[in-house]
Amino acid sequence: MSFRASILTLYPEMFPGNLGMSLSGKALERGDWSLDAKSIRDYATDKHRSVDDTPSGGGAGMVLRADILAKAIDDVTEEDDPRPRLLMSPRGKPFTQNRARQLAEGPGAIIICGRFEGVDERVIEARQLEEVSIGDYILSGGEMAATIVLDAVVRLLPGVMGNQESGETESFENGLLEHPHYTRPAIFEDRGIPEVLTSGNHRLINEWRLEQSKKLTEQRRPDLWAAHLARNAK
C-alpha cells in the first residue's frame, strides 16, 4: 500500500505545489504516494461558509471552530484508519529527521493546516491531534509547513531516491551535520579540492568526512554535538 496523505486546509489549491515537482512529483506520478487536499470550508454549515469565530475570553484574531474541523477530520478518516493526525502548529513538537523516517515507514498521514490565531483546543484533544512545528517562527498558515513535512517524508519512501546511500549520509541521519562536498573544476578562484578526496583512499576519505562532520556540528549546532557526545559516552 502506498503512502497516503490527506490534507485539510482553507487553500487546497496550494497543493501539490512544490510536491508535484522533482523527486516527490515523479513519485506522485508513479503512484508511490498519493495526495488529497480538501477544503475545510466544505464542512461549514452556514451560507457564508464560516469556519472560525472570536476567541472565548476575548483577544485578537479568530479561532478555527472545533465542530467544523472535527467533521472534516472524520470525513477523511477511514474506519480503523492507522494514519497519524498531524496539526501544523508553532507550539508543536519540533519536526525531526527521525520523525520523518517514522512517518515514511507508515501508511501515510492526515495533516491539518492551521490558520488564524489557532485551533479550538477541544478538537485537538477529541481527535488526538499531534501538533508539529517546523521551527521557532510564525507562518501565515500551515500549508507551507505541511509541504515541508511531506517533502521530507516522501523522499525517504522506497525507490524515491535513486541512490539510497545519499539519504543515509545526509545531515541528521547519524546525529551530525553533513560533511562538505566538492566537484569539478579542480580549481575554483584559487581554491582547490582537499587532496584526500582525490587520493583514492576510501578509508582516509571516510575518516576525513567524519571529522569534518564533527567539526561542523560542534561549531554550528552545539545542541546536536552535546547529544552526540552523550550517546557515545554510554
Confirm whether 229 is domain-assigned.
yes
pLDDT at position 228: 94
Q: What confidence tier does 163 reach under pLDDT thresholds 50, 70, 90?
A: low
Position 171 confidence tier, pLDDT thresholds 50, 70, 90 = low
Co-location of 128 and 188 in the same domain: no
pLDDT digits (tens, 9 = 90+) for 48-91: 999 999 999 999 999 999 999 999 999 999 999 999 999 999 99
Question: What is the grid cell recorded at 138?
Answer: 510564525
| 111 and 224 housed in the same domain | no
Alpha-carbon distance of 118 to 131, in angstroms, equals: 11
Same domain, 182 and 149: no
Q: Which of 111, 128, 154 marks a domain boundary? A: 154
Q: Are residues 63 and 129 in the same domain?
A: yes
Instruction: Confirm whether 164 is domain-assigned.
Output: no
CATH number of the domain that residue 138 is part of = 3.40.1280.10
Check whether residue 116 and residue 61 sit in a common domain. Answer: yes
The helix/strand/coil state of 124 is: helix
Q: Is there a single domain that holds both residue 126 and residue 227?
A: no
Domain membership of residue 162 (yes or no) is no
Amino acid at 205: I
CATH number for position 194: 1.10.1270.20
Residue 160 lies in a domain: no
C-alpha cell at 158: 522506497
- Per-residue model confidence as pLDDT tens digits over 193-210: 999 999 999 999 999 999
The C-alpha cell that represents 67 in the structure block: 465542530
**What pLDDT is recorded for position 172?**
76
pTM of the shown model: 0.90
Q: What pLDDT was estimated at residue 223? A: 94
Do residues 38 and 141 both lie within one domain?
yes
> What is the distance between the alpha carbons of residues 155 and 162, in angstroms, rounded to a whole number?
10
The boundaries of the domain holding residue 217 are: 169-233
Instruction: Supply the pLDDT for residue 124.
Output: 98
Say yes or no: 10 and 120 in one domain. yes
Do 75 and 20 fall within a single domain?
yes
Mean pLDDT for all residues in the chain:
94
- Domain match, 106 and 145 both: yes
CA dist 79 and 140 (Å) reads 33
At 93, list the grid cell: 513538537
Residue 218 lies in a domain: yes
Q: Are 35 and 89 contained in the same domain?
A: yes
End-of-domain residue from the set 95, 129, 154: 154
Residues 118 and 9 in one domain: yes
Residue whose C-alpha cell reads 454549515 in the numeric block: 45
- Residue 224 clears pLDDT 90, i.e. is over it: yes
**How many domains is the chain partitioned into structurally?**
2
**CA pair distance 110, 214, nearest whole angstrom:** 36
pLDDT category at 179 given cuts 50, 70, 90 is very high
Q: What is the pLDDT, as a whole number, of residue 173?
A: 74
Final residue before a domain boundary, out of 85, 119, 154: 154
The β-bridge partners of 74 are none
